Amino acid sequence: MPDLANPGAPPLTRASSLTLAEQLADRIAGRIRDRLLIPGARLPSVRQCALQQSLSPSTVVAAYDLLLAQGLVEARPQRGFFVRDRVVERSDARSAQPAARPGPRLAAPVNAAALLRGMFHTEGDRPQPGMGVLPPDWLETSFLPTAVRRVTGTKALFDSSLRYGEPMGDAVLRRALAARLQQLGMPAGPEQVITTVGATQALDIVSRTLLKAGDCVMVEEPGWAVEFARLHALGMRILPVPRGPQGPDLAVMSRYCEAYEPKLFVSVSVLHNPTGYCLSPASAHRVLQLAQTHNFHVVEDDTYSHIAPEHATRMSVLDGLQRTIYVSGFAKILAPNWRVGYLAAPAALVERLLDTKLLSTLTTPSLLERALAHCIEQGQLRRHALRVSARLDGARVRSVKLATAAGCRFVAEPAGLFGWVDTGVDTELLAQRLLDEGYLIAPGALFHAAREPGTLMRINFATTQDAAFWRVFSRLLAASQ
């Protein structure tokens, strides 16, 4: 069993100074500490692990006992062994108190920090099917360094580095962003745009401004696990809304509105993660009617806007930024490490949102914002996005063929960056087998509020057009059935 923290490490051996049980326990413990096995993940059964590692069941039992003693896993009667989240358990024990009124409570499937640490764990140079971003070589450009040099002339560098930037964000960038939003049909002026440290901070600013601990928030399911975990960490009650091809389940939303008075609905309208669905106009209108009737705001996360069709339905366009708050950024298409994102909000909310930004980061880096503005104004970002989209279209065709040939079934029409596929086997257990081979996948359980075993997984079309991965996948799939 290769050690993923050290690919190519020798297999378990009797020649070691450690027993086989100790070696197995150490390797599983390393995965847990490196967040390759995140809180809530289920370990293979004793029988499965014994077969996979060519060990006796008693050796696996001894290894699992060692992990239990270290407090890294817990045994659940009739269910098996699961990775513990000791941070969440201690926090829950300290804060447990009667709720003000009955309502759903999310038993957080993951610790947000643990999941993010896992995202940054690299496994060498091979493409990783579970990646949430485009490969770095897809994002390489010549115009980015030129834009940076343009805005870092001696005087500009002096002026921008030795004083804080504008609280709302660089004025030139905000004008460029407002112009882009107006092209989409959104009536947003520069005075309604606030730049942020990535789209993630924009979502956090909205939550911290509009919500208080105990408030109910509707979030699409399946959805991005970081959003579930982030809201849970803020003390919110999460109401998972099933997401279908046309949009959220409106009947479920209506029941939530009547029973729990939610304050917010978080939606990825266009190229939804992980399904790739796009919202229909009819669903969008109904969601906005519910928001008006039941007095909640809609946060529209348009993270994948640069690879999405401009004619796609966006609630912020239909609503004219009345009850909607629009969020986007540039990490997915241009410069992940620049951490430039933004939000566009109703005029009445701008000052409150700005206060929250000031309390968290004061301002944002104006030099990078000004360089980005130059790329937008010169049309370089638009042309780059078109090239990336064309390349992604080709990768999607190849990946779909390989996935289908390997026995996967797409449960959503392939679109955008991600595919949502049914493997027919428990993908959390499959994920651990693939880790042995050096591949990190994204099991479907990561995208649900209540972590349960399932057969779905999300694939990245840009990183799964490699036949080598699918050969390994097919071999392990056959062994799992």
**Residue whose pair of structure tokens reads 């996967």 in the numeric block:** 408
At residue 149, what is the residue type? R
At residue 123, what is the residue type? E
Predicted TM-score (pTM) above 0.75: yes
Specify the domain boundaries for CATH 1.10.10.10 within the chain. Answer: 20-84
Cβ contacts of 135 within 8 Å, gap of 6 or more:
127, 462, 463
Residue 230, pLDDT score: 86
- Are 353 and 327 in contact by the 8 Å Cβ rule? The answer is no
Confidence of residue 86 (pLDDT cuts 50, 70, 90): low
Q: What is the mean pLDDT of residues 119-139?
A: 80
Confidence of residue 98 (pLDDT cuts 50, 70, 90): very low
3-state secondary structure 156-175: HHHHHHCCCCCCCCCHHHHH
Strand partners, 248: 243
Residue 171, pLDDT score: 94
Query: How far is Cα 130 from Cα 124, in angstroms, rounded to an integer?
Result: 14
pLDDT over threshold 90, residue 2: no
Residue 124, pLDDT score: 61
Specify the domain boundaries for CATH 3.90.1150.10 within the chain. Answer: 123-138+383-480
User: Pairing mode, if any, of strands 409-410 and 442-443?
Assistant: unpaired
Q: What is the mean pLDDT of residues 252-270?
A: 96
**Length in residues, the chain:** 481
pLDDT over threshold 70, residue 122: no
Which of 78-82, 246-250, 316-320 is predicted least confidently?
Answer: 78-82
Q: What percent of the chain has pLDDT over 70?
A: 88
Query: How far is Cα 451 from Cα 445, in angstroms, rounded to an integer?
Result: 5
Query: How far is Cα 10 from Cα 355, in angstroms, rounded to an integer?
Result: 54
Strand partners, 300: 267, 326
Q: What is the mean pLDDT of residues 320-333?
A: 96
Specify the domain boundaries for CATH 3.40.640.10 within the chain. Answer: 139-379
Q: Which two tokens stand for residue 457?
A: 């997984």
Angle at 201 between CA 195 and CA 205, to 5 degrees: 85
Q: For the chain, how far is it from start to end, CA to CA, in angstroms? A: 20
Strand partners, 196: 341
pLDDT over threshold 80, residue 79: yes
DSSP symbol at 42: B
Which of 12-21, 63-72, 307-316 is predicted least confidently?
Answer: 12-21
Confidence of residue 121 (pLDDT cuts 50, 70, 90): low
Q: What is the mean pLDDT of residues 86-96?
A: 44
Burial class (CB in 10 A: 0-12, 13-18, 19+), 126: middle
Residue 6, pLDDT score: 39
pLDDT by residue (tens digit) across 436-466? 888 888 899 889 887 677 999 999 999 999 8
Confidence of residue 119 (pLDDT cuts 50, 70, 90): low
Cβ contacts of 369 within 8 Å, gap of 6 or more:
165, 169, 170, 172, 173, 195, 340
Residue 93, pLDDT score: 39
**Residue whose pair of structure tokens reads 């289908």 in the numeric block:** 404
Q: Which two tokens stand for residue 446?
A: 């990561």
E strand segments, 297-454: 297-301, 324-329, 340-344, 409-410, 418-422, 442-443
Q: Whose CA is closest to 97, among 267, 213, 222, 217?
A: 213
CATH of 139-379, one of 3.30.830.10, 3.40.640.10, 3.40.50.300, 2.40.50.140: 3.40.640.10
Residue 113, pLDDT score: 52
pLDDT over threshold 70, residue 34: yes
pLDDT over threshold 50, residue 201: yes
Q: What percent of the chain has pLDDT over 90?
A: 60
pLDDT by residue (tens digit) across 101-110? 444 543 333 4
CATH superfamily of 123-138+383-480: Aspartate Aminotransferase, domain 1 (3.90.1150.10)
Q: Spelled out in words, what is the top-level CATH class assigned to the domain 20-84?
A: mainly alpha
Confidence of residue 61 (pLDDT cuts 50, 70, 90): very high
